Amino acid sequence: MSWLCCCRLGFSKVLGKLSLVNEYSCGGYSVNGGSGENTYGRKSLGQELRVNNVTSPEFTSVQHGSRALATKDMRKSQERSMSYSDESRLSNLLRRITREDDRDRRLATVKQLKEFIQQPENKLVLVKQLDNILAAVHDVLNESSKLLQELRQEGACCLGLLCASLSYEAEKIFKWIFSKFSSSAKDEVKLLYLCATYRALETVGEKKAFSSVMQLVMTSLQSILENVDTPELLCKCVKCILLVARCYPHIFSTNFRDLSHVASGESVDEDVPPPSVSLPKLAALLRVFSTVVRSIGERFSPIRGPPITEAYVTDVLYRVMRCVTAANQVFFSEAVLTAANECVGVLLGSLDPSMTIHCDMVITYGLDQLENCQTCGTDYIISVLNLLTLVVAVAHAVYQAVLSLKNIPVLETAYKLILGEMTCALNNLLHSLQLPDACSEIKHEAFQNHVFNVDNANFVVIFDLSALTTIGNAKNSLIGMWALSPTVFALLSKNLMIVHSDLAVHFPAIQYAVLYTLYSHCTRCVDVCRVQLVHSGTRIRQAFGKLLKSIPLDVVLSNNNHTEIQEISLALRSHMSKAPSNTFHPQDFSDVISFILYGNSHRTGKDNWLERLFYSCQRLDKRDQSTIPRNLLKTDAVLWQWAIWEAAQFTVLSKLRTPLGRAQDTFQTIEGIIRSLAAHTLNPDQDVSQWTTADNDEGHGSNQLRLVLLLQYLENLEKLMYNAYEGCANALTSPPKVIRTFFYTNRQTCQDWLTRIRLSIMRVGLLAGQPAVTVRHGFDLLTEMKANSLTQGNELEVTIMMVVEALCELHCPEAIQGIAVWSSSAVGKNLLWINSVAQQAEGRFEKASVEYQEHLCAMTGVDCCISSFDKSVLTLANAGRNSASPKHSLNGESRKTVLSKPTDCSPEVINYLGNKACECYISIADWAAVQEWQNAVHDLKKNTSSTSLSLKADFNYIK
């Protein structure tokens, strides 16, 4: 009983704290709006049973209908037995509330009802229709749809205002509210009834209009407080009680003593009860206390100062553990221990890791719980594991706090102590294997005579390594910045014997911990280098490029998910979804487009001109609204993506009138550049000096960048034009109406222009190493050709050829097979050579090279197959495969070898197949076959004058 008295004092302080933090909100619903909405199972409206007198105590459980399932026709055919008066505005409002389907209209009707209730002249009508109003509000509060959150909150507000307006009917309304509270099975609905009670008390305030019923209200609230088991209901109930205490102190004082007895768990009976009675009460008390602490939340923390102090929380923690330990010695109760473990966990969670507490008692208490896990239920075992996990996490946090100090001398001392502890434990493990000491250079005199047993030594090493992993990888960590000796890298790679055969055999967990710590410490080096390679500063790019060369190639080329790249993608997507800022001016567009089209840079200076352009387009009043983090603004990739998007957006917002000229001039200029580049891919002698002239490697890199930027500009322009004349659901912001009207009127012109240049864009995409662009435009172009019945001629075959080549570069053999099936079924083109490209995309270069030669023989009518390749290897490779498979049905054994007449095929396709055969030989490093294939192609050109076949491989390099 002495502990219970102490707990009573503790809970009195907690209640006092609750009165100080009256405005603290626990979440859930509030009268004026809140978050959280759960669904409630309700029957159809036709199954509702309701009588007019809804306040009768015999009808405390009402069956409700589901608005999500009932249709409007069902509601019309199954009307409620409510005595509505059609001439009354109130009756009309109630009818609309219960029958309306539209959510917004229904919400507006509830708000009109709230205004109606607040008008004093309507009191007589409200009294006459009170039962119907309560029934309608009851329906609203028990709605099952998640989309009606605001509607239910407004319903609770109406109920509170109704009670305040009809103060002479308050007793009837309060009885109805508390009756429905007791009969409700959902905590969310109960919370709404408490919100209505709070709104009624708040509206009346100190007018004393509820004086006659306040004893009833206070008694009901006390009963609710005794039985609540969720933080939300507890907070709302306490707020109602505190409101009563402020407005009706004489009523509150008559119940406060009983309330304190309920909170502290004191028994009314003076006799000492048996354990079968007292232990369940103790478990209930612990659960209530845990609920109170969780309800207070962050305010129950010593960091905020008195009355919640470190000494107070520590004292309560020790009292709980001592009381439960004493009770467990008399009679074992699984329920008490489960509740106590939860309570200890809540109290430990409220303490800051840097605060000094005596952990021995907590650790002893947690370890004692393990003895009973074999004979107890799942709930108890889970509570023990959660408690021990929290204890280990708190101890781990203490180490992290020590290693995060900014004071170098103190940090160095702590670091050496941790290394000394780790060395002592490691040497104890080596002694158990009868091996000599190690790590003599990091020993510490404090552990000179300390001895760990094998289990403890194993745990100490792994625990200390985990602490070093967390801190050594943290950003801005002094340990991670190599400020201490030895550094984390030197410690793991040299001092701790990263390769030790005996430790690996007998203690593999330690060997793994050392390797994993070293791996995680070095992982971020690759990530940083990847990001800094596109830094806007030249010296920074060069420095990180040199660092990247020292990292193993397989690590550099690993295709893992990188958070930095994801951050860039999210930042750009967020910027694209924003409304236009209209700060990108014609001069800015001219600077960007001049660099892309002609390679001219009009902005000079020491700093990066893209970065200066970005900041010149920002505004001071909107600097907090930037969607691009500051740490990404030093990245060229982000700046270029921003500039290209803004340039395309400027083109659309100016209705295609740009510094390039009028709308027609803008289209013609871009089209001319695209067509000249496409012609260069067919004929390298075509003059495109502004794209090919460069003095050094940086110049060639700039030309490659301009190609990619041009393709990205066209991609963004097409997106924004489509958004202007078609619109998007939510990906892009809709442009102004005048822009939408312009592009809707000129929609066909824009689409015709895009169709006209798609083939050229596909060629430029392959030239720039952007196969995804070629695939996207190719699919659109093939769709348009099929829709317009343009399936004859070589243009369709050339388009398919470029799509297949792009898919081959993307290593998509299945997609290439799909193109073959589509061309055969949809447009009637049986292009057998597509299957050979699928073989190459799958990595089967030997078979693909043979098939390419056979296709060329069939197309030209000339035997151009070379003899250097051993076809027996190909036969053995295909022996285990099903030759009847539709994916690989095109094999050498099933094809005829007799030469036929040349087929009508595009010269560009013939040239493409010849180069693909050469690529296959280069891929398998068969240089002799490459030379022989060059000679075969030379003979083919002499024998067929109509064949224009030119290999693109650099034979000088091959020789």
Predicted local distance difference test score (pLDDT) of residue 727: 83
At 19-38, the pLDDT tens digits run 433 333 334 434 333 433 33
Tens of pLDDT, residues 517-561: 777 777 767 767 777 777 777 777 778 777 776 666 566 656 555
> Could you give the CA distance from residue 19 to residue 23 in angstroms, rounded to a whole number?
9
627 pLDDT more than 70: no
- Structure-block tokens of residue 208: 């004393």
pLDDT value at residue 604: 65
End-to-end C-alpha distance for the chain, whole angstroms: 98
Task: List the domain boundaries for the chain.
Answer: 42-264, 270-401, 404-530, 582-769, 845-958
Name the pTM for this structure.
Answer: 0.48
Report the alpha-carbon distance of residue 760 to residue 673 in Å, rounded.
10
* Residue range 168-205, pLDDT digits in tens: 888 888 888 888 888 887 888 888 888 888 888 888 87
Q: Which band of pLDDT confidence, cut at 50, 70 and 90, is reported for residue 879?
A: very low
| Distance of alpha carbon 550 from alpha carbon 826, whole angstroms | 53
Compute the chain's Rg from CA coordinates: 39
What's the token pair of residue 370? 């393990």
Indicate the class that CATH gives domain 42-264: mainly alpha
Q: Which residues contact 709 (CB under 8 A, 6 or more apart)?
A: 595, 596, 640, 644
* CB-facing half-sphere around the CA of 847: CA atoms within 13 A: 24
H helix count then E strand count, the chain: 42, 0
Distance separating alpha carbons of residues 415 and 216, to the nearest angstrom:
65
What gap in Å lies between CA 410 and CA 772, rounded to an integer? Answer: 56
pLDDT of the residue at 807: 93
Question: Which DSSP letter does residue 579 get?
Answer: P
- The pair of structure tokens assigned to 416 is 């050496």
Cα–Cα distance measured from residue 645 to residue 664, given in angstroms and rounded to the nearest whole number = 21
In this prediction, residue 696 has a pLDDT band, given cuts at 50, 70 and 90, of low
Contact call for residues 732 and 577 (beta carbons, < 8 A): yes
Structural element, H or E, at residue 915: helix 907-923
What integer pLDDT is reported at residue 377 of this predicted model?
A: 78
Q: Are 778 and 806 in contact (CB under 8 A)?
A: yes
For residue range 400-455, list pLDDT tens digits in order.
777 777 677 777 788 888 888 888 888 888 888 878 777 777 777 777 777 888 88
List C-alpha distances in Å: 457 to 436, 510, 858.
16, 10, 75
Taking alpha carbons only, the member of 758, 766, 856, 759 closest to residue 808 is: 766
- Predicted confidence at residue 354, as pLDDT, reads 52
SS3 602: coil
Average confidence (pLDDT) over 270-298: 75
Report residue 804's pLDDT band, with 50, 70 and 90 as the boundaries: very high
Average pLDDT of the residues of the chain: 74
The reported pLDDT for the residue numbered 650 is: 92
DSSP code, position 736: P
Is residue 5 packed enough to be buried (19+ CB in 10 Å), middle (13-18) or exposed (0-12)?
exposed
Going by pLDDT thresholds of 50, 70 and 90, the confidence category of residue 16 is very low
Q: What are 756-803's pLDDT values in tens digits?
A: 999 999 999 998 888 999 999 999 999 988 888 877 777 888 899 999
